[in-house]
């Protein structure tokens, strides 16, 4: 449980830092943080009723919900997309501080970093939908 909290803190800090550095738009950490608050609140309520986010007592009962939220493939895909996005954003921020780099290189790096960021945010939101949908069954 603490490793999940640590991961979440680190992830949220990096989204905010990249927005503060103007590497990504402010809406990105707002969406990611809001999604985290909503899903964490739902999962906390569900936990009091015996449901877990993953494992045998998962709150995800539909195959699609499980595939999007609780499956190892989904979790690995989302985790990998975050790592790739952060590496690209670190690289972009560093490259923007350097002089003498070809504008085409910077433009290409920015395009790939933005695409990775948007993909990650899209996965973040898509993975929240089944949790919000399950809330009416496990929270209310």
Domain boundaries, the chain: 2-138
Tens of pLDDT, residues 75-128 = 999 999 999 999 999 999 999 999 888 999 999 999 999 999 999 999 999 999
Q: What does residue 98 show for φ and ψ, rounded to 5 degrees?
A: -90, 150
Note the pLDDT of residue 84. 98
Query: Residue 20 contacts by C-beta under 8 Å, 6 or more apart in sequence?
Result: none
CA contacts within 13 A on the Cβ side of 57: 9
The tokens 């998962």 sit on which residue?
58
């Amino acid at each position: 449980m603490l490793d999940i909290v640590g991961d979440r803190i680190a992830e949220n800090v990096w989204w905010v830092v990249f927005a503060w550095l103007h590497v990504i738009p402010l809406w990105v950490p707002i969406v990611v943080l809001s999604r985290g608050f909503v899903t964490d609140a739902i999962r906390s309520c569900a936990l009091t009723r015996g449901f877990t986010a993953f494992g045998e007592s998962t709150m995800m009962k539909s195959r699609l919900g499980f595939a999007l939220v609780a499956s190892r493939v989904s979790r690995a895909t989302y985790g990998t997309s975050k790592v790739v996005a952060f590496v690209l954003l670190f690289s972009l921020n560093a490259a923007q501080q350097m002089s003498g780099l070809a504008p085409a290189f910077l433009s290409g790096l920015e395009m790939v970093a933005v695409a990775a960021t948007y993909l990650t945010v899209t996965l973040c939101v898509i993975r929240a939908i089944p949790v919000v949908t399950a809330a009416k069954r496990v929270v209310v």
